[in-house]
Structure 1
């Protein structure tokens, strides 16, 4: 029991260390949380996607990904175009204060948020490198307890995205000012631009 718990804790710590960073996905979840728009589906998509990819990595898919580099190259190219486009939209919002105030969620905005989240998650090759390859390799070191390690890593993802998405509403008073939305969208644009350029350079 003790060794199983150790593997779970190790997985939780390793998973948390990989996802707690200002990246494209986290910036998007943060913005959705502050807007209180489609937060539950966005958090669910991020956590479920991580859990699925972690399971694939522990199950050995990392070997196939490594043997087929063309797949990552294609994902990198498409992901770069998507992130650069999103960066332009965020920059546009930052430059137009009148468009910054969040209105009530609508069916169309919720659907758009879900589709954007899916693209943000599955078109980012870093997700595959971190979850499928890196976490898969570390989990393999735990031998028979690799699935307990995977469970810990998946739990870390769920806790992080839930905290980021639902906890972001605590910042709502600060974001009543248009200047705060401008700063957030400027940060989102910068993050997406840097990530997109990094992917484009490696494609």
Structure 2
């Protein structure tokens, strides 16, 4: 592909669109219509910071410090499994109210959870800092154009996922549907956590 911007966009979108902890959280917040703009902004800015770090050469630094990656790996795995267990509890013991009928969660709590989903997941560093950083640096002088495309893809994805999820709100007016979603989130998070822990 001749354009580094287009190549960066497609490379980033391919990695970001995979089912993961961050996407599941953004989807849930979008369906709840709760602090969606703040969550989308945090995810986009986080990706931008990580992509810039990768292009600036921090990918090589990350790969040369396996001890730091191990700490992140086990900490991230514990967090993902813990979040999965909580989602499993919601699926098995649902509230009398659907999440959309409950009082809104506090913005600070939502942003802390979102930040943890992003920054405690080692796959984020491997995908954005190491892999996208390596792909960008193949373009030498045009590597920052690749970065523009990659960051644009991140913004487009999270805006589409967060605000597009609102269209599913009608489907999630039933407590049963929320139980199914929470069960899927639980399986996804626990599976990701085990995968991360096993390396």
If the TM-score is normalised by the length of the shorter chain, which range does it land in?
over 0.9
The Cα of 1:100 is off from its aligned counterpart by: 5.6
Q: 1:33 to 1:69 in 2, by over 3 A?
A: same
Q: Are the equivalent residues in 2 in contact too, given 1:75–1:124 (CA < 8 A)?
A: yes
Equivalences for 1:50-199 in 2 at 5 Å? 50-98=47-95, 101-102=98-99, 103=101, 106=104, 109-199=106-196
User: In structure 1, how many angstroms separate the alpha carbons of the residues matched to 2:56 and 2:74?
Assistant: 27
Partner residue, 1:14: 11
Q: 1:190 to 1:13 in 2, by over 3 A?
A: same
User: In structure 1, how many angstroms separate the alpha carbons of the residues matched to 2:186 and 2:12?
Assistant: 26
The Cα of 1:21 is off from its aligned counterpart by: 1.4
> TM-score normalized by structure 2?
0.95
Q: 1:121 to 1:185 in 2, by over 3 A?
A: same
Partner residue, 2:25: 28
Q: Are the equivalent residues in 2 in contact too, given 1:7–1:142 (CA < 8 A)?
A: yes
> TM-score normalized by structure 1?
0.93
4+ residue stretches of structure 1 with deviation over 6 A? none
Q: Are the equivalent residues in 2 in contact too, given 1:38–1:105 (CA < 8 A)?
A: no
The Cα of 1:29 is off from its aligned counterpart by: 0.5
The Cα of 1:143 is off from its aligned counterpart by: 1.2
The Cα of 1:98 is off from its aligned counterpart by: 2.3
Q: Are 2:191 and 1:200 equivalent residues in the alignment?
A: no
SS in 1 for 2:53: helix
User: In structure 2, how many angstroms separate the alpha carbons of the residues matched to 1:85 and 1:67?
Assistant: 29
SS in 2 for 1:60: helix
Q: Are the equivalent residues in 2 in contact too, given 1:34–1:172 (CA < 8 A)?
A: yes
Q: How many pairs align?
A: 198
The Cα of 1:97 is off from its aligned counterpart by: 2.7
1:20-71, CA deviations, whole angstroms, 9 ceiling, x for partnerless residues?
A: 1111110111001001111111111111011110000000011111111111
Q: 1:201 to 1:183 in 2, by over 3 A?
A: same
The Cα of 1:109 is off from its aligned counterpart by: 2.8
1:80-104, CA deviations, whole angstroms, 9 ceiling, x for partnerless residues?
A: 1111110111001111232561236
